[in-house]
Amino acid sequence: MLHDLPAMRQWLTKDNPFYDFAVQHYAADAQGRRVYWVPFKEDGWKTIGCNAISVVATPNRAGSISIRKVDFQTGAPISANKAWACFVFEALNTLNGYRYTRIISEAKNGVLSREQFILRAAEDEFRNVIEQKKFYRQIVEPWARRNRIKTDGVEWHSKSPETFEEEIRLRYDKNAYPWDFFGEYYDNYILNKEEQGALKGKAHPAKLTLPPEVGPLHR
């Protein structure tokens, strides 16, 4: 990761809290499964609109984290601040991935409807947003002050709402996150083949080509 994203090395001061955090999270998720760094496929993920993505580990597959080299919106190289913010968020996603796979399982078993799945998946991701904000306030900000390093808390979701209820009220556009991403995931990987065919017949084609149990996104 540090080789592919050299800007991240700018934050590796003697007292940095990030290196050990990264080693710990690549070593294992909460279930003891390995997480790997996978270089971001610049073309492969372009249509998703994100700077980082993670794949949740399963009993038969290790997890992974990928971060872009350039920002998908501006085209500028990813800064140290943004890269570490992306990494911490995806590390939390992989660490807590067992929650997400449980939600997927409930949806596949018919316990959750499409809308319920979207809301549960979005709420699960929001829990990681709260953890990321806490990490920024308790660890990143004090370290940055000691080392006179400028940080941008917005990249760490410092301005996001404090509750999921507040968050979801701001996500009213059904053509945007989380409705588009988790909705298309539901259509692609949770519906059975017969239901997928019926959905396509209603001019609601599936678009995503993500692997099963792909982790939530850092947007």
101 assigned to some structural domain: yes
51 assigned to some structural domain: yes
1 assigned to some structural domain: no
Domain count, the chain: 1
- Which domain, by its residues, includes 52? 6-201
Residues 6 or more apart whose CB falls under 8 angstroms from that of 160 comprise 129, 133, 167
pLDDT in tens, 146-177: 999 999 999 999 999 999 999 999 998 988 88
218 assigned to some structural domain: no
pLDDT in tens, 17-69: 889 999 999 998 777 888 999 998 765 544 467 889 888 888 888 899 999 99
208 assigned to some structural domain: no
196 assigned to some structural domain: yes
Q: Residue 41 has what pLDDT?
A: 77
217 assigned to some structural domain: no
Q: How far is CA 193 from CA 15, 159, 189, in A?
A: 53, 41, 9
pTM, full prediction: 0.82
117 assigned to some structural domain: yes
